Amino acid sequence: MKKSISWIIIGMCMIIGAGALIKYHQFAATETMLVMRDEVTAQMPEEIQKEIAITFDDGPKRGTTDVLLDGLKERNVSATFFLIGMQVSGLEDLVQRMAKEGHQIGNHTFSHVNLNTLDAYKQNEEITMCSQNIRQCVEREQVCVRPPYGEVNECLRAWVGAPLILWSVDTNDWTGKTADEIADYIVSEATAGDIILLHDIYENSVQGALMAIDRMQAQGYVFVTVEKMFADHGIILENGKVYRKI
């Protein structure tokens, strides 16, 4: 009996040890991949090394989105706009201008609903209706989706035919922050490879974003679209996969 118990204990120790060894190798492999990625990044041109993606949700909106587009054009900045489908009607000229001036246009659903509360059919309806409205303005297909509130579930990931773009720097600009507060937060928190979340429907967000861009461009940062930042780093965006930064 004692021998049986001893063998059981030995077996359990071997299983635990094997599990720990597997986790160690997984950790080591991850660390190796990160080191290799950093080495590759270090060999890239400086302008690619310092790329940041600045993104704007919930537009378009007359009086703020057009002001933002003016400011981005003056600064030679490309941004990514995640549009709400129902906002597009009557503002087709702004969407067309986004595309013409080199900005990326993404899908933020038709009515800004939490997709986690919907079944697959309703999720598809929200994203499809948004795409249809945008496609009436520009020919190019929207290659990325940003789920409202950053809510993603396995149901959505299983069927959605697009990468899911979240963020790594949340300005919380919708809470009533001043332009200075928004700009200060971006400058203090954002770094190369980040995806910054803002909303182009608020005046303070627009002004804060432009102020932050001015300060960070002076530090050598380059603002590009989400798709360009990942492409420049050799990363192919996959359908159904969530991305928050490089």
Q: How far apart are CA 160 and CA 120, in angstroms?
A: 9
Q: Is 57 considered catalytic here?
A: yes
205: its two tokens: 């967000």
Q: Is 199 considered catalytic here?
A: yes
Q: Are 130 and 144 in contact (CB under 8 A)?
A: no
**Cβ burial, residue 217 (10 Å; 0-12/13-18/19+):** middle
Please tell me which residue in 38, 199, 200, 233 is annotated as part of the active site: 199
Compute how many other C-beta atoms are within 10 angstroms of the C-beta atom of residue 9.
10
Please tell me which residue in 57, 58, 173, 194 is annotated as part of the active site: 57
112-119, Cβ contacts within 8 angstroms, sequence gap of 24 or more: 112/58, 112/84, 112/148, 113/148, 114/148, 114/149, 114/151, 115/147, 115/148, 115/151, 115/152, 115/153, 115/156, 116/151, 116/152, 116/153, 116/156, 119/155
Residues taking part in catalysis: 57, 199
